[in-house]
């Protein structure tokens, strides 16, 4: 059992390193709560950017772990839910994308319980308890990093319901328009659910599914430039994407996807590769979807 705990960190539903302070829910809430203006902005625009989530030494630690994770010979490689050295079909437009690294490296495991993250997530979910959905890595190398096409996250997540999800994108490099930072279409979280598209395909393929009024809003995109260690939260229907990286600098980032406790499975098949099936209609929970923060503990 000890060997299994050390190999697959999903066996631990709590922090296992000293990367973050072990403080109470009350202390975390008092120290890291968003302002009401920030919550209001999120509800109105569909996103909230520029939130500091990591110190520089924490970013450095995660980048060290990332350098190990991208190696296909990593001894825990089999624990990934997905692993794409290049999700694009074009070798000149590389997009590294993976899911499941929280099971493999301690730092990427413990960021799920980062007090700065879980408090903000709770508030933006309407002060509901926060449960983990899955993680992602999106990395674009210098000079030939590929796109992440415009999309809505929930179009890939209809296997869970109701829609009460939240995404947090965090840069491990300074992110700007030159190296392919995250971009949003403000207020697009008020649109209906759109078609699921190929993430690493044509940047503008979603446009084929938009109305004339939506296309007009589509052209009002906003680039989210942030220093490394800062994050941006967005609604599950928020239309977002990122352009290619043609700069001299890499653009590495991780994503934490969560939902409010009480979300249920909507599929009688595994929700992620390597995860036991949760029958449709049953509440999401257990080892692979741990509870991260409960406001009742405040």
CATH of the domain at 207: 2.60.120.620
Helices (H), 129-189: none
pLDDT at 37 over 80: yes
Burial of 215 (0-12, 13-18, 19+ CB in 10 A): exposed
- Tally of domains within the chain: 1
Supply the mean pLDDT for the chain: 96
pLDDT at 3 over 60: no
Q: Do 176 and 217 contact (CB within 8 A), yes or no?
A: no
pLDDT of residue 2: 44
Q: Residues near 35 by Cβ (< 8 Å), separated by ≥ 6? A: none
pLDDT of residue 35: 98
How does pLDDT run across 46-66, given as a tens digit for each residue?
999 999 999 999 999 999 999
Q: Do 62 and 106 contact (CB within 8 A), yes or no?
A: no
**pTM of the complete model:** 0.96
Q: How many Cβ atoms are within 10 Å of 166's Cβ, its own excluded? A: 25
Mean pLDDT on 249-274? 97
Helices (H), 70-114: 106-110
The pair of structure tokens assigned to 13 is 């539903």
pLDDT of residue 219: 87
pLDDT of residue 4: 55
How does pLDDT run across 120-168, given as a tens digit for each residue?
999 999 999 999 999 999 999 999 999 999 999 999 999 999 999 999 9
The pair of structure tokens assigned to 52 is 């500091």
Residue 236's H or E segment, with its range, is: none
Residue 121's H or E segment, with its range, is: helix 115-124
Lowest mean pLDDT among 101-105, 106-110, 216-220: 216-220
Domain of 108, in residue numbers: 2-297
- Matching residue, tokens 């296909």: 72
């Amino acid at each position: 059992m000890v060997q299994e705990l050390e190999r697959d960190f999903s066996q631990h539903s709590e922090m296992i390193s000293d990367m973050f302070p072990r403080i109470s829910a009350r202390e975390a809430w008092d120290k890291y709560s968003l302002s009401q203006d920030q919550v209001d902005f999120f509800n109105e625009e569909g996103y909230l950017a520029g939130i500091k989530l990591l110190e520089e030494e924490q970013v450095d630690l995660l980048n060290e772990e990332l350098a190990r994770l991208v190696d296909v010979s990593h001894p825990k490689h089999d624990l990934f839910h997905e692993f794409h050295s290049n999700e694009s079909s074009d070798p000149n437009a590389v997009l590294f994308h993976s899911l499941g690294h929280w099971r493999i490296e301690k730092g990427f495991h413990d960021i799920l319980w980062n007090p700065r993250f879980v408090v903000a997530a709770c508030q933006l979910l309407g002060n509901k308890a926060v449960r983990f959905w899955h993680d992602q890595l999106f990395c674009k190398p210098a000079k030939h990093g590929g796109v992440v096409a415009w999309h809505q996250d929930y179009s890939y997540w209809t296997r869970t319901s109701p829609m009460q999800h939240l995404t947090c994108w965090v840069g491990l490099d300074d992110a700007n328009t030159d190296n392919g930072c995250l971009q949003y279409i403000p207020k697009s979280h008020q649109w209906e659910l759109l078609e699921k598209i190929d993430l690493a395909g044509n940047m503008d393929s979603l446009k084929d599914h938009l109305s004339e009024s939506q296309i007009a809003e589509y052209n009002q995109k906003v680039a989210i430039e942030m220093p490394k260690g800062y994050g941006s939260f967005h609604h599950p229907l928020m239309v977002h994407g990122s352009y290619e990286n043609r700069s001299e600098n890499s653009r590495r980032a991780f994503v934490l996807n969560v939902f409010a406790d009480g979300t249920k499975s909507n599929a009688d098949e595994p929700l992620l590769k390597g995860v036991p099936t949760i029958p449709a209609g049953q509440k999401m929970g257990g080892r692979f979807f741990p509870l991260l923060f409960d406001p009742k503990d405040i």
